[in-house]
Structure 1
């Protein structure tokens, strides 16, 4: 492993800052001419399978991360495309951050006299908590006030110390740097530790071995995963095993879009989103992430809040339970497919970064109980506006009409239906755009299921 500033030539040794003293982002390089990729196939799947392109460490702290499944997506067939899901929910703590943390903790162990620290909006904090526990060291996690309770519970369960700071992860990064210096902790925050990012690039190596994709669709918050994947493919290019880097597609929530907006040339937003893991207002790695998209010939997509349920449902129909921040890849895929962006023989990989259990809030149960009678009501309202008693008669089910009003209240609270008009005491309901997309998701699942039966 070589640590040299590409601008001024300064060489770094063990404790590595993310930027050189001259201000240029540092790069980790290797002796690429000596790499023999045939060795990888003889080893167990996982991050450390690719150790020739990872930092040297004295001891590996591992929970068997990496080597995650690549699944064929049936909803891609409905679009006439070859789509595959890289299921990072199968990592030990349920997210892609385990790839980063195994490398960062293993490398930082000799420097972590009093433990480790990370600033994170949830996933990296949960991962550090687990790997620090495995290493027998203390973990300090700086997390924002806007964090899902399930992630917080996971962090606490592993015995990490939790410090709530700021509204978004951006505000915690400098706090973590100060805490690391003041308490002699090793900082594994992705924005402050380029060594850990080397672990995330192994997603690219696995994709190359299994698929050699033409396009990779990446949920993007801080931009670190997007850049890491780009770096992995760039190294494969330098080794000579691929001829070109796949097109990288950055996907962000419309409400928080600093990277995607830069790529698309539109006004960025920095508001909270239900996809909380993507809520990074001023990403440290924005420049590198934009460079990754542009140099790969890729693009970016903005996803609305009303499209998150659609993505989550379609992934669930494939057997993958993803949090909202990962689910954005599905509506992004559909938007690009509708615009004719892809060719029929393209090989498209969707990176699903984190498990849905991590993002499950109070509304989580309702998101997955919209079936049966509620679905029938949505189908009726997709044809025309109706009032409660009229819906009850049309259902032709053995249930009290008062139960229909309960279903209507629940569907309204989920944003699937809304009041259309009033005629006297009658309240007419209509299907919202969000409800329509929800129905489309079920329609796509049924088509895929019927197609699989015929084949």
Structure 2
């Protein structure tokens, strides 16, 4: 059965032919959207017999070549010990654990379909702006397809995610301090004949991510509430789109209420929701949850529409709450997740304290990625820090480089891989010197840096922590 679909601008309703390079409305400048004729579709009659997102192939845009690592159909299960510990007054609390995907995050869904479409249309290079997860996912799937992957990454990316991109053969270029700047660079790259893999720019990513809703319906039915980590707004909108399509197929009789959670240090969607205003780009965005640190959310308006249509809620949580929730989930449920994912647990606790949930309701927290991608955060716990400094990982890199021998700033920058601006290196060097971890002296015309005894002792302490983690 071939389901008829169109590519349409959700604002002006102008329809577009699906072809290479068509991602945004030429009139409105916003992302296009896939719409399907689902009125006479029987959901279970169009499913393929497989345990991945490709089970829903007929409910996706037409794709001929399949690049897959068995992504999707991740487990959904109750978290009873955490529910009891937090005294959540609800019938059941579930997690949908997308950290079980091949590269450890929900972005594998989009990467599979994006790379498949790139092969279909004969592209040799796929570009992507990413603050970590999509870069890692796309690098893996593009490697599987035998193509080349360029990743535009902001200054600060979790070390584990960078390691994945590098090991999968992705080519990284550092662009700006935030993901928003990297997205602009990726948009310009479309003119180079490269396929657009940035999920905020290519509407086919939404189609991949809506499979989360299909899976939930098959696994646990329709929860009363779904809590979503929210950065660009694409996750919450994708899930809403999936449930809306299921409702159109008469597969379900009701849709869930949605909760968008953002970090207090970067919450443009939450602010707009609470003020009933337009979205304003966040100033000086900063949070430990790098996966949801997006100042200018391109799917923000559609996320707000999903919240309104579902009679949903938007809430922000602190970095301290996120870290505590990350640790609680690990200790009580054996589930180690990245901070962006832990934000859903922090929101669960916060809203439960406000008596938002009823005793007979079911709640689902969407887990977007694995904590193994953010292993550099462990020091935050071992040292008992109230708030983890997102600059710490770069500083540790600098200390490790200087442990080899004395160097000047430019040489240090080259040694750590040129993944951030050289000006940022000098800022880190000044801060390390103020902390007494390094010293500097003028040699010839250059300032040369070296480790102090205090700096050496800190590196030894970090190595001891690493050793403890591996035991």
State if a TM-score over 0.5 links the two structures: yes
Aligned equivalent of 1:21, options 11, 21, 26: 26
CA distance, structure 1, for counterparts of residue 179 and residue 44 of structure 2: 40
Q: Is the 8 A contact 1:270 1:280 kept in 2?
A: no
Aligned equivalent of 1:353, options 368, 371, 381: 368
For 2:202, the equivalent position in structure 1 comes to 193
CA distance, structure 2, for counterparts of residue 8 and residue 258 of structure 1: 26
For 1:63, the equivalent position in structure 2 comes to 69
For 1:145, the equivalent position in structure 2 comes to 155
CA distance, structure 1, for counterparts of residue 130 and residue 181 of structure 2: 10
Deviations 1:167-197 (A, max 9, x none): 1110011211222312x11011112100122
For 1:285, the equivalent position in structure 2 comes to 299
Aligned equivalent of 2:310, options 293, 296, 305: 296
Taking a change above 3 Å as real, the CA distance of residues 41 and 19 of structure 1, as seen in their structure-2 partners, is closer
Displacement of 1:129 = 0.3
Displacement of 1:271 = 2.0
Matches within 5 A, 1:8-47: 8-15=13-20, 17-23=22-28, 25-39=31-45, 43-47=49-53
CA distance, structure 2, for counterparts of residue 21 and residue 415 of structure 1: 44
For 1:76, the equivalent position in structure 2 comes to 83
Displacement of 1:161 = 0.5
For 2:350, the equivalent position in structure 1 comes to 335
Displacement of 1:34 = 3.9
Displacement of 1:270 = 4.5
For 1:179, the equivalent position in structure 2 comes to 189
TM-score, normalised to structure 2, is: 0.75
Matches within 5 A, 1:45-444: 45-74=51-80, 75-77=82-84, 78-81=87-90, 82-182=92-192, 184-211=193-220, 212-265=222-275, 270-316=284-330, 317-361=332-376, 363-365=377-379, 367=381, 369=382, 410-411=383-384, 413-414=385-386
Displacement of 1:214 = 1.2
Taking a change above 3 Å as real, the CA distance of residues 214 and 16 of structure 1, as seen in their structure-2 partners, is farther
Cα root mean square deviation, aligned: 1.9
User: Gapped runs of 5+ residues in structure 2?
Assistant: 389-471
User: Gapped runs of 5+ residues in structure 1?
Assistant: 370-409, 417-455
Aligned length: 372
Q: Is the 8 A contact 2:48 2:54 kept in 1?
A: no
CA distance, structure 2, for counterparts of residue 193 and residue 333 of structure 1: 31
Q: Is the 8 A contact 1:89 1:355 kept in 2?
A: yes
SS in 1 for 2:262: strand
Aligned equivalent of 1:2, options 6, 12, 29: 6
SS in 1 for 2:228: strand
TM-score, normalised to structure 1, is: 0.78
Taking a change above 3 Å as real, the CA distance of residues 340 and 260 of structure 1, as seen in their structure-2 partners, is same
CA distance, structure 2, for counterparts of residue 294 and residue 185 of structure 1: 36
SS in 2 for 1:360: helix
Displacement of 1:314 = 2.1
Q: Is the 8 A contact 1:16 1:194 kept in 2?
A: no
SS in 2 for 1:43: coil
Displacement of 1:25 = 4.3
Taking a change above 3 Å as real, the CA distance of residues 185 and 18 of structure 1, as seen in their structure-2 partners, is closer
Displacement of 1:42 = 6.5
Taking a change above 3 Å as real, the CA distance of residues 220 and 240 of structure 1, as seen in their structure-2 partners, is same
